[in-house]
Amino acid sequence: MTTRLLARGSVYAAAYVVLTLLSGAFGLASGEVQFRISEALLPFACVDPAAVVGLTLGTAIANGLASPMGLADVVAGALLTLTAALLMWRIGPRVVALAAPVVVNGLGVGAELALILHLPFWPSVGLVALGEAVVLFTGGLLVLSLIRRHGALLGLPGRPRPDVRAISRQDER
Amino acid sequence: MRMAIAQYYPRASPIHRLDPRCKVVAVAALVVGLFLRSSFAALAVYGLVAVAGLLLSGVPLGWVARGLRPVVWLLVLTFVVQLLFAPGPAFYTLGPLHLSLRGLAIAGYLSLRLVVLVVASLLLTLTTPPIALTDALAWLSRPLRRLRVPTEELALMVTIALRFIPTLMQEIDTIMKAQRARGASFTRGGPLRRARALVPVLVPLFILSFRRADELALAMEARCYLPGAPRTRLHPLHAHRRDAVVLVLVAALVVLAELI
């Protein structure tokens, strides 16, 4: 782990927490139907390993600060985000990657609710996944397109993709 | 933009003074115990422990109630689901609705268990500052270093992140004001339009934050920070006899609850 990755990861974690607290202020952040705006940051994990670490820690901190279930949610939430973020890193900056957290969190949080409150498993999975999908396919999609368009501006490391316009310009010359 | 970010309630109480590692282990033991055995008697023991801890900590009940508010919704849902779908003799039938007595008992048990779980968890976060909690978790996860998990570095990241949270909030506030001065509106229109209005806030926010992070990395390296090198602490954690006493007491109570 380099110092730079460490510092960037910390910023991702802080951003995740701030956005969770913001959605928490509107009473949207935890429970059966949850709209965590902060989940929209997950597309960063597609291109930046610092985001994989940072967002995982961010989930742990946010759950520790704001979730009523405290310790249990810190561990479970972090593991779920880590799984989703690693999957997204594998998939890369493609729209399909947005489905990873929907599936992982849906199943994971659904299982948590089924275990703790004996709520029916599949309906819980469905509701959690729905809330997650809404956030990811609005905000997440926005962030993904920002990364694709302005990735260099943000100094994002990641997979170099051929700049089509530059190549065609060269061809013209 | 002002809001309380941590649930921590500063005060000098016997619970606040305990070593954070001791509190983490005690609360983890209570939470695991709570799920190992499902009986009202065991639940009563854990509930009494949580309430006793709460009284000792001197945290105002309002703060606890505030922590419980987010789960009220879940409790209502649990009651409805159990009442409607649990098997057993009905105590009330209304057409196709079949409210069973056993469902009522199960719903009551599950709700109480959730409340005890939340109160026990709150006891930890209300009496321990986030930084102390981070130190405790880093110390407790030291065995993971053998699996090459960089626990020290992760703990440092959490500490830096906690430090960055107020900074980022301030930054968001400044950027929103700057964009408003340029005619942006964040309150007009439907959800979609409001979400789109956030783009001119998020892009500068990320650019500023990443620049800040890179500066921080540079500053750390200039001060000879080396990832993975052993570090010393300004406030090392110290366990006292009272921590051992609490751990033994909690262990005894968990055993008691599992046996009755």
By CB atoms closer than 10 A (0-12, 13-18, 19+), residue B102 is middle
- Domain span at residue A64 reads 3-166
- Residue B235 scores a pLDDT above 70: yes
Q: How far A99 CA lies from chain B's nearest CA (Å)? A: 20
Confidence band for B220, pLDDT divided at 50, 70 and 90: very high
B202 contacts on A by Cβ (under 8 Å): 143, 146
Listed range (B39-48, B168-177, B189-198) with the worst mean pLDDT? B189-198
pLDDT at residue B147, rounded to an integer: 92
Beta bridge partners of B97: B94
Domain membership of residue A78 (yes or no) is yes
Report which listed range, A9-18, A19-28, B75-84, B187-196, is most confident.
A9-18
Domain membership of residue A63 (yes or no) is yes
Query: Region A109-122: what's the mean pLDDT?
Result: 86
- Is the C-alpha dihedral spanning B115, B117, B123, B124 positive or negative? negative
pLDDT at residue B46, rounded to an integer: 92
CA distances from A47 to A17, A52, A145 (A): 20, 9, 12
Question: Cα(A78)–Cα(A58) distance, rounded to whole angstroms?
Answer: 8
**Per-residue pLDDT reduced to its tens digit, B111-122:** 899 899 888 888
- Residue B193 scores a pLDDT above 80: no
pLDDT at residue B96, rounded to an integer: 61
A74 contacts on B by Cβ (under 8 Å): 137
Question: Cα(B18)–Cα(B33) distance, rounded to whole angstroms?
Answer: 21
Helix (H, G, I), strand (E, B) or coil at B90: strand
Q: How many domains does chain A have?
A: 1
Here the CATH number for the domain that contains residue A151 is 1.10.1760
Listed range (A36-40, A168-172, B130-134, B224-228) with the worst mean pLDDT? A168-172
Question: Cα(A61)–Cα(A66) distance, rounded to whole angstroms?
Answer: 8
pLDDT at residue B91, rounded to an integer: 65
- Element at B112 (helix H, strand E): helix B101-127
What part of A 62-91 touches B (C-beta under 8 Å)?
A: 64-66, 68-72, 74
Q: Which of A57, A72, A118 sits opposite B154 (nearest CB)?
A: A57
Residue in B closest to A119 by C-alpha: B78
- Chosen from A22, A47, A61 to mutate, greatest number of chain B CBs within 10 A: A61
A144 contacts on B by Cβ (under 8 Å): none
- Residue A86 scores a pLDDT above 90: yes
pLDDT at residue A172, rounded to an integer: 59
pLDDT at residue B98, rounded to an integer: 67
Asked whether the beta carbons of residue A154 and residue B210 sit closer than 8 angstroms, the reply is: yes
pLDDT at residue A148, rounded to an integer: 85
* Domain range annotation of chain B: 1-150+238-260, 167-227
Mean pLDDT of chain B: 85
Q: Judge whether B192 is closer than 8 Å to chain A, CB to CB.
A: yes
Side chain identity at residue A1, one-letter code: M
B35 contacts on A by Cβ (under 8 Å): 115-116
- Residue B51 scores a pLDDT above 50: yes
pTM of structure: 0.84
- Chosen from A11, A56, A81 to mutate, greatest number of chain B CBs within 10 A: A11
